[in-house]
Structure 1
Amino acid sequence: MEIRCPQCGYGKEVDEAALTPSVTFATCPECGHRFRFRDAVPENEPDFTLDSGQEEPARDSAVVEEDHPHPTSHTAPEEGPMPSWGQPKKAEAEIWAYAREVGVVAALIANTRHILQRPQGFFATMSREVSFLVPLSYYLIISLVGIGLETFWQTAVGNPILPEAFSGAVSSPGEMIQLVMFSPVVLMLYLYALSGILHLGLVLTGAAKGGVRTTMRVVCYSSAADMLSIIPVVGSLLGGLLRLWIIVVGLRTVHGTTTARVLPSVGLLFLSLLVIVALTMRDLGML
């Protein structure tokens, strides 16, 4: 059975046969929320922690509690229906996978909001079983919207922060057509290059617990930060910084590692970007 925290959406598959019928409460390791996950009548039974590092319910004294609500928490009746606050809720994570049911625009907004507001909760519940076309389509749509917003602001008001050679302004319909046609190709190349560099760093530090597709999913969903391009002039810069933070949180979560072991991958990415920028500026005669 799957038990999912109603507070942050973290979930885990648990062998129901390993649980006694009287175990009714679980404690989420992500947010610490204690909740009732099924009805049961017997009293004074232990609950357990949804620990991603354990296959069986924990029974040691560090996590076992008496099966009665904490004085400072909500109280749950021992009989009768489960209260609404204790019922498992449908996770918001990767709601983009249900775009047909909830609507494309609504799913896009909900998915983006969840990533920006609670990235750790989002990536903790991200499914690796969902087709890769789901995060890929999200990445392409959000990135194209971000490019469109940035192009609009560059054309309308310019950007004094960036050199003119790096300006994304368009001056003719022909340039706009070229932008629309080639952007998806460039975005795919960028996705594979960025994911490859990050995953290489994870492999070198021994932090890669999943495959490169897992890393690519994180990169795809980190594109949510591109929506900051709606802010004139500084939006793309702020979005870039936010995207790096989301990538760090995402890689740390999906690979089950620490921030310290993810940072070398980000450092490798920075080094690669600096080399690319330096070569580009040299070719443009700016160095």
Structure 2
Amino acid sequence: MVLMSHMSRLVGVSAAAVLLLAACGSSPASDQPAPHVVAAFYPLEWAASSVLGEHGSVTTLATPGAEAHDLELTPQQIASLADADLVVYLSGFQPAVDDAIEQSGAERVLDAATVVDLLPVAEEHVHGAEEEEHTADDGHDHGEFDPHFWQDPTRMAALVEELGAQLAEIDPEHAGDYSAGTAESVSALGVLDTELAAGLDECARREFITTHAAFHYLANRYELTEIGISGVSPDDEPSPARIKEIQDEASAHGVTTIFFETLTSDAVATSIAEDLGLETAVLDPLEGITDQSPGTDYPSIMRANLSALSTANDCS
């Protein structure tokens, strides 16, 4: 009886130890919450999400379907910046975001303009081989530079790498996962860059006409010439003289298509195309995604743009 009682006590102690170890094993290794990133507009959201993977979350300030340039923030959105683990934005692109970051006292902020080489705004044409690159360290006002850097996948890769480094500092427990996410995203962007370069290498013409001059970086990277009807802002209205210049350019270069975007009116593009007997097609600046977008995410829309340009310019 004594032996049986002793054995029972040993079994009880062993069972308790097993339960204790199981409880410890099931508890989280860290009490640190998953990082939350606030991105100012869609391409920045895509970049952050591609690094985070299954960890953390990303919210976007820009409303889907609204023009990112004209963003207005609610008091709740401004307050959310202070609670974010990281805010990623592009200074000079959305003045409301610049002001909100200053007001909110957000502790950790990543300005893409400090990471990505920006190109100066072109006055009329954007020639691929003629643009000089500038970094944020040059000390220029970002208003002098074209903000649409995400049209060049290699510049997006630079932003992704910086996001990976910052998220690893914020959440070191998952640094390995962020490193893997960064590597996977950079590799995918490299594949996209190769596809664009190959698809736009041999074309009957290298000029393309857009209602919104948002493709400076694409033209620069792949040695094309963008002819913008309006300026960097889609709200710029072309003068009658500018429309006449566009008509002359279209005739001179044998352009077949006038491109417009999904977030603004196609009236100007349609009018010019009808006057000259040309086609119209969508070239998406990727500032936001809607049901009318020619793809569901950054890579698929970039590939849709490649297809549209390849068709319009008779690329082989």
The normalised TM-score by structure 1 is: 0.26
Between structure 1 and structure 2, the one with the greater Rg is: 2
Give the structure, 1 or 2, with the largest relative contact order (CA under 8 Å, sep 6 or more): 2
